[in-house]
Chain A
Amino acid sequence: MSRAGSLRGYVLVRIALMIPMVWVLLTVVFLMMRVAPGSPVSATLGGKLPPAEIAEREAALGFDRPLIVQYFDYLWDAVRFQFGTTVTDGQTIGSLIVENGGATLTLTVAALVVALVFGLPLGLIAGRYRETIPDAFIRVFAILGYAAPPFFVGLLAQLLFAKNLDWLPASKMASPITQATAEVHTHILLIDLAIDGNWDGVWDVIQHLILPATTLGLLVMGVFIRLVRVNVGQALGGDYVEAARARGVSERRVVSRHAFRNALVPVVTVMGLQAALLLGGAVLTEQTFSWPGLGTRLLQYLNSRDYIGVQGLITFFALIVVFISLIIDIVNALIDPRVRY
């Protein structure tokens, strides 16, 4: 079997496996949203509108039909990326994703970059110099980063860097002037500003981005540090590293080429889980920094008990996580030849 062929086979199987995964996920989301008594409409608007009008709206949205019919309806909509219209403000989930998705994407990507840029080297240092003082500091840092809730870290960061030192803006994605002058191209503010050549605006957004991205990055960084540390340590005491040393390979090369590369494999493997952690953390971080992303929207609909809004956004998040884990597995197969078999 040729290597390319086996890789293609692996990818096809992996994609086929997505179907049951997505189905289970959608079913769980559907059931979660329906365990509460009453329909989404009566839950949201019950008591605010006369019962007749609620019944009318329920009928219009199809909530008077049997649950099983609604279930298949939901599945069919979901596979066509139709997630419904919110009850409270009548927006389609699709338009929400277009409008607010860019902010969440900006935040999560920036946080991931922060986590990788600082987490991988820190993990490498800790793993290379295990049981030393730098290692102890890095480990405590990793545990704190992972354990401290983002709203707490975010609050501290706002107090220190925005209020006390006044180095960075405390919240929002951009200052009003940038917001007012920005034109919409891609719905990703940073890119839109760059397209227009508005570099002051770009710099403004980056300044706004630093605190939330670091806050969210810290959360994910802890996992990276610990994984890299453990795996670098393990690899350095491992058989193939000893064999490389016995062939006169320098310690520097042993660490960077043999141990570090092997330690990256598990990092890539957990990246799918990290995506879930990142999205969950983004909800809390957005809230803390008034970041206009999907997380802020989700909390808004949660507060107003808008079930369609919540269900639509959660379904979207779940699909994103599934999709990312697919990509991760393919990347993993490219890096680690053993995965393909």
Chain B
Amino acid sequence: MADPVLSLRDLRIWYGAERGAVRAVDGVSLDLLPGETVGLVGESGCGKSTLGRGVIGLLPAGAGHAGEVNYKGQNILELKPKRLRAMRGPELGMIFQEPMTRLNPLMKISDHFEEVLKIHEPKLSRKEARNRAMEALRGMGIPPTRYKQYPHEFSGGMRQRIMIALALVLRPAVVVADEPTTALDVLVEAQIIRILADLRRNFDTALLLITHNLGIVAEACDRVAVMYAGRVVEQGPAYDITTKPSHPYSRELLRSTISLSTTELHSIPGAPPDLVSPPPACRFHPRCPDAMQICAQQWPTTVATSPGRRSECWLHSKDQIPKGLDAPLEREALAAAEEA
């Protein structure tokens, strides 16, 4: 197996808030191999965007961090701002959720491309830069005739393709795409997902694709990491997890996405926890249908359930549960635990 191009080790990111630190990412370890697409899924507010920004070192001023984001043998979170900035673009790229507001309204598309190419590849002549930009745009299906136009002259889907071209023109090794299709309609979404799925074949770019749509994961990802309350609770090959999830949260999340075979719409009862004071032990126990008493008391260990697949749940190490604590967590206890 190739060496990972990016590896997160016990990454923690928190935001300072009046009530205490919001622990948005709370001990995540994850690898990205060259050229692979990894999906990052989870409910709203579980820390996906925070993780994605952490990966390219683009955290807001008030955020704290611990752990490592290793890229080419260095922890990018420890780099000097200037070094980090030089890496953003040519090494680490990002695509955002809302394409409508991500381009400077006063700058032509050409200005956007020429700006990044001039910053990161100053030796490129104007003409070469133009050709590179046009080529990247053509790859995204934007005709070269529109190169000199302003952002407002494009639809949302086209703007997102421009954003992708703008990230790819520098040929970065890692790209984070944070819900790149959430703001777009279904047809455009399918088109963008196809483009991203094609990346796997045509580029060496590793893609971290953040989404809350498991359908997208099945279609476009090699592997998937399921995130809940700041932690990656399960990760493994996309096909395995989307067909046979082993963690109760993955299973519930999968059931709650609309499927063609059933018309019923399932939802996970309750809401993701407050990340200032998340539930003790397994974060999912207040909502987990399989919760046992131990789940509210002791942190589950991470178990490799099959090659390349890991899951953080007591169900996989039942033999290690002390006697009596494998009894189902009762409703009263559940309520009490929530109060604690």
Contacts and interface: CB of A to CB of B under 8 A. Distances in A.
Contacts of A56: none
A79 interface: no
Interface string B204-233: 000000000000000000000000000000
Given A248-B87, A338-B152, A239 B96 contact: yes
Interface string A326-341: 0000000001111001
B58 A242 contact: yes
A336 B88 contact: no
B102 A240 contact: yes
A335 B166 contact: no
A257 B119 CA distance: 13
B258 to A, nearest CB: 29
Contact of B86 (A246, A248, A257, A338): A248
A249 interface: yes
Contacts of A239: 96, 98, 101-102
B163 interface: yes
Most chain A CB within a 10 A radius of its CB, from B58, B90, B115, B120: B115
A336 B106 contact: yes
A247 B102 contact: no
B46 interface: no
A248 B104 contact: no
A238, A240, A243, A249, most chain B CB atoms within 10 A: A243
B158 to A, nearest CB: 16
A128 B58 CA distance: 18
A9 to B, nearest CB: 16
B166 A247 contact: yes
A240 B86 contact: no
B101 A245 contact: no
Contact of A247 (B93, B106, B150): B93
A261 interface: yes
Interface string B79-103: 0000001111110011010100111
The secondary structure that dominates the A interface is: helix
Interface in A110-143: none
B254 interface: no
B106 A337 contact: yes
Contacts of B163: 243
B96 A262 contact: no
Given A239-B102, A337-B150, A245 B58 contact: yes
B253 interface: no
A247 to B, nearest CB: 5
A243 to B, nearest CB: 4
Interface in B109-144: 115-116, 119-120
A258 interface: yes
A338 B150 contact: yes
Given A261-B106, A341-B152, A248 B98 contact: no
A234 to B, nearest CB: 12
Given A248-B120, A258-B107, 18 more contacts: A239-B98, A240-B104, A240-B105, A243-B94, A243-B96, A243-B103, A243-B163, A246-B58, A246-B93, A246-B94, A247-B93, A248-B87, A249-B115, A258-B104, A262-B105, A262-B106, A336-B105, A338-B105
Q: Which 5 A-B pairs have the closest CB atoms?
A: A248-B89, A248-B88, A239-B101, A246-B94, A243-B102
8 contacts: A239-B98, A243-B102, A246-B88, A248-B119, A253-B119, A335-B106, A337-B106, A337-B150
